[in-house]
Structure 1
Amino acid sequence: MTQHAPKSDDFSLVRVPAHARLPMWEVLLVRIGALTCISQFMLGAALGYGMTFWQAFWATMFGSIILQVVSVLLGIAGAREGLSTSMLARWAGFGKYGSGLIGAIFAISLAGWFGIQNSVFAQGVDQALGGKLGFPLSAALTGLFVTIIVIFGFKWLSWTAKIAVPGFLLVMAYGIYKVLENHSLSSLISSPAPGPALSISAATTIVAGGFIVGCVITPDISRYCRSSKDVFGMTVIGIFLGELGVNMIAVLMAHAIKSNDIMTIVLQLTGLFGAVLVTFATIKINDINLYSSSLGFTNAIHTLFKVKTNRAIVTLVVGIFGTALSIMGILDQFIGFLILLGICVPPIPGIIIVDYYILKRSRKILDESRRLGTLPSESENFHPIMLVAWGIGILAGYYIDAGIPSVNAILATGLSYYIGMKLLQSFNQSKVKVEEVV
């Protein structure tokens, strides 16, 4: 029998059924919305301030390709099973309690970033209105506005993207038009970096690390895709239009203005209206933060306490709490803690990809339950090898200086998990043979 979920719950603990899947372009808009925002523009401006145009281009390409491979693999698994990242992990290496731990990490870190991004959004709104509302009231209004959007689930995320993404892209197009009024494109492309030099390796690390969390939670979005082909299109177009497109526009603007200050660049090129639209586009990254946080909390509560909570109620509680913290300014004290949690995220794909695509330990029960429109009735509770591999990945990402930390974490985790599981399998087979002889 097919599992059902309340409409507001947005299939948080069950598979997204075929009738609820969406056209690729609707999912794509949500994906692009996660990249067409102030934080991505800040990243591009930082590259442009410390690099030439072509140096920034190749750094973005290298970082984007890395994200692309991981996103596609995770995204296809999410679409095939119709499951969010934390739910997929339950049958892809992490087990019941491991997936709950992932859910908790996602939930806490993304809820924290929701509050911080809300502060940025509120400050922009307050400045645009000449300080008439004041920061506390602005933060309360912006936080509750985003919370209401997320309560209604993925459909409303899609509708918000249809407004915010075109608005952001129009501002970028107008900004480039203003740049090219006074500068030739060839001169900007050939101009030296206006600020202190930034190396290719450092820049590639920034690009890959800047969206690694968004990359890991790809299944939260791709579970609404209708096919693997849609997932591939969504991730390729999303990353290269969002990541490469926004970065290169920001690079040209930084070269023209000779600054990496985002609001200075936007105000000089597009005026107050453009600054308001760019600030408004923050909604798109922040509603995804809150949405994935609500999915993580729902899974963690269900796993740890065996209680099924409605995702909409969880969203309301988390949204109000995050908004209150942003109003009080407490979140500024937690940035270090959130960054520490972020170190735990890059290794996660290593285990999921190896277990789902190579070891395929749960593929048979997933395939059988998918045909019935349900979930497997059981899963392993926890696997110590997963925990050891996860720890190795965290250490590799943190301590290995060569290469890109997030990639080091993924590779070290995946390799150690594969070797560990194979050694365990060989040990168990040897043990069975000895027992048979005896």
Structure 2
Amino acid sequence: MSQDVEPAAAQSAPPTGTRTKANETLEDYTLRFAPRSYRKWSVGVVATSALGGIAYLADFAIGANIGISYGTVNALWGILVFAVVIFLSGFPLAYYAARYNLDLDLITRGSGFGYYGSVVTNVIFATFTFIFFALEGSIMAQGLELGLGIPLWIGYAVSTIIIFPLVVYGMSLLSTLQLWTTPIWLILMVLPFVYLLISHPDSVSTFFAYQGEKGQGSASLGSVMLAAGVCLSLIAQIAEQIDYLRFMPPRTPENSRRWWCAMVLAGPGWVIFGAAKQVIGLFLAVYLIANVAGGAGFANEPVQQFLITYTNIMPAWLALTLAVILVVISQIKINVTNAYSGSLAWTNSFTRITKHYPGRLVFLGVNLVIALILMEANMFDFLNTILGFYANCGMAWVVVVASDIVINKYVLGLSPKQPEFRRGMLYAVNPVGFGSMIIAAGVSILAFFGVLGETLASYSPLVAIVLAFVFPPIIALATGGKYYLRRTDDGIEHAMHDEYGNPSGETLRCEACEQDFERPDMTASGTGAGYVCSLCLSTDRAGAHVLPEQTAAP
């Protein structure tokens, strides 16, 4: 897979039709289809940028925690369940993002939720970004305290402030940052694991024999599902992968193989790396518990896992230096993605509800402030409950969209295969996706908190997954799929796609802002005077440009 970097001028050149009120190069097409004129990166650069965002250390802590609680066997089975669910549910979402150059909110709108119905999923995703920003920022602050003696409260602020300038220029800067830091991060992460396998081969048998605090030596379905439930709180990570994948170049016969490899690896394939990190985190934790005095007290802390292992390989000063470097690189790589994706999610929701577009950078600041408050207030004592609650909502959302794409679009044919996101083309709310998510999330949350019985509490992730998978086709069949499209004709005669099925690169002039945008972003104006872009439609308070509901097929 090629990873050649495009010329800097090509990456940062402003797109055709830069808006006067919002420079789309800075805004990274927050509310829009990502146009062909801006997507100048190779498939390798896009994939590397997307995978750079999974450098977080929380996976090491998650793997360690579930292993300590339920034992190695149950933890490994739980991680496997997590990986299978994430891959299967993430594949159709990633494909649509890369193929049609849309973020997950825009995909969600046309996959059963409706124009306003997907706002609730945006809030779910935005919550994911600031919760995990706070979690990752706190790990970075711990590294700064350990290596440089910086007090935690200052470290929280530093880990937040440093992110803002790195995210301002969106994909143009993030692609370069992720590309150049990934090799260093990989070496520092893999080194301790390889060292232990070679120098302490007995650590492998110790690892598999570890029974955890509850002494569970054999697999237990309840424990496996509880472990999987913790891991599945990361299900919304696919939305962050998609925020990069939407910049994939058009798929052609010449690049088809590389395009598919990049899409799979950087889309649902992120879970392969995530699961590996969780296993390594558990492996290092078991090693510390078995070989280091008092290791049980800090075995689940990634900073300590790497520092102690590094110390066995090299001088203490170098071990500390490398541990701090690993922590800082890891947290910057993931938190630029958390901050970037969160800013997109908040802006999308705010603009649709208020019909006002404040710009992505405003909500970049909002997301960072919320995360900093969480860190400074030391609210992590109840974050496990929050994550468990959140996981059920996240799973309900992602699996519902996946079910709609796979079953309703390709099996039943009730949902339009071409994704639609433009105002006026969609109904405000579609009961297929919106209703399914509410049912799946609501029932699984009740199960999570024990309302449906203590036995079912362990299986709340499974409840969310099953209900989210089966209800979209049931409701689609019951409604005949009539709430997907308000209109089937957008009033433009020009073709939406090129000869290879990629979104067209032809440009049209928006009568509202008098700028040029590519065909997939446009509809005919309700005034009958020309065309209008999707952002002007979103901010049209009077609705003058919105096409009327189509009462009969054209």
TM-score normalised by length of structure 1: 0.82
The one of 63, 85, 109 aligned to 1:44: 63
TM-align CA RMSD: 3.4
Q: In the alignment, does 2:122 pair up with 1:103?
A: yes
- CA 1:323–1:238: 2 relative to 1, 3 Å: same
Q: Percent identity?
A: 20
Q: In the alignment, does 2:455 pair up with 1:393?
A: no
Deviations 1:107-147 (A, max 9, x none): 2342233234323322321221123xx33332222201112
- CA 1:210–1:26: 2 relative to 1, 3 Å: farther
Q: In the alignment, does 2:139 pair up with 1:120?
A: yes
Q: How many Å separate the matches in 2 of 1:171 and 1:334?
A: 28
Q: In the alignment, does 2:480 pair up with 1:425?
A: yes
- Paired residue type of 1:158: S
Deviations 1:45-92 (A, max 9, x none): 235546776765554333212211111111111122211111221111
- CA 1:221–1:193: 2 relative to 1, 3 Å: same
Q: Which residue of 2 aligns with 1:238?
A: 270
Answer whether contact 1:366 1:376 (CA < 8 A) is retained.
Answer: no
Q: Which ranges in structure 2 are unaligned for 5 or more consecutive residues?
A: 1-15, 252-258, 290-295, 311-318, 484-554
Q: In the alignment, does 2:246 pair up with 1:223?
A: yes
Q: Which residue of 1 aligns with 2:467?
A: 412
Q: Which residue of 1 aligns with 2:237?
A: 214
Count how many residue pairs are aligned between Structure 1 and Structure 2: 419
1:86-97 → structure 2 map (5 Å cutoff): 86-97=105-116
Q: Which residue of 2 aligns with 1:129?
A: 148
1:24-423 → structure 2 map (5 Å cutoff): 24-49=43-68, 56-131=75-150, 134-180=151-197, 182-184=199-201, 187-188=204-205, 191-193=208-210, 195-196=212-213, 197=215, 199=219, 201=221, 202-203=223-224, 205-206=228-229, 208-226=231-249, 227=251, 229=260, 230-235=262-267, 237-240=269-272, 242-258=273-289, 259=296, 260-262=299-301, 263-270=303-310, 271-280=319-328, 281-329=330-378, 336-337=385-386, 339-360=388-409, 363=416, 366=419, 375=422, 377-398=424-445, 399=447, 401=456, 405-423=460-478
Q: How many Å separate the matches in 2 of 1:17 and 1:427?
A: 30
Higher relative contact order (CA closer than 8 Å, sequence separation 6+) = 1
Q: Which ranges in structure 1 are unaligned for 5 or more consecutive residues?
A: 370-374, 429-438
**Displacement of 1:406 after TM fit?**
3.4
- CA 1:117–1:24: 2 relative to 1, 3 Å: same
Pick the structure with more helix per residue. 1
Answer whether contact 1:222 1:231 (CA < 8 A) is retained.
Answer: yes
- Paired residue type of 1:274: L
- Paired residue type of 2:345: G
Of the structure 1 ranges 277-286 and 293-302, higher mean CA displacement relative to structure 2 is found in 277-286
Q: Which residue of 1 aligns with 2:548?
A: none
Answer whether contact 1:32 1:238 (CA < 8 A) is retained.
Answer: yes
Q: How many Å separate the matches in 1 of 2:428 and 2:207?
A: 57
**Displacement of 1:34 after TM fit?**
4.0
Q: How many Å separate the matches in 1 of 2:466 and 2:429?
A: 21
- Paired residue type of 2:63: G
Q: How many Å separate the matches in 2 of 1:273 and 1:286?
A: 21
- Paired residue type of 2:119: G
Q: How many Å separate the matches in 2 of 1:59 and 1:364?
A: 34
Q: How many Å separate the matches in 2 of 1:180 and 1:358?
A: 44
Q: How many Å separate the matches in 2 of 1:302 and 1:176?
A: 46
Of the structure 1 ranges 168-177 and 87-96, higher mean CA displacement relative to structure 2 is found in 168-177
Rg: which structure is higher? 2
Of the structure 1 ranges 93-102 and 47-56, higher mean CA displacement relative to structure 2 is found in 47-56
Q: How many Å separate the matches in 1 of 2:269 and 2:131?
A: 28
Deviations 1:133-177 (A, max 9, x none): x33332222201112222221333333323543333222332124
Answer whether contact 2:57 2:327 (CA < 8 A) is retained.
Answer: yes
Q: How many Å separate the matches in 2 of 1:180 and 1:112?
A: 34
Of the structure 1 ranges 202-211 and 343-352, higher mean CA displacement relative to structure 2 is found in 202-211
Answer whether contact 1:349 1:410 (CA < 8 A) is retained.
Answer: no
Of the structure 1 ranges 229-238 and 201-210, higher mean CA displacement relative to structure 2 is found in 201-210
**Displacement of 1:404 after TM fit?**
5.3
**Displacement of 1:416 after TM fit?**
1.7
- CA 1:277–1:185: 2 relative to 1, 3 Å: farther
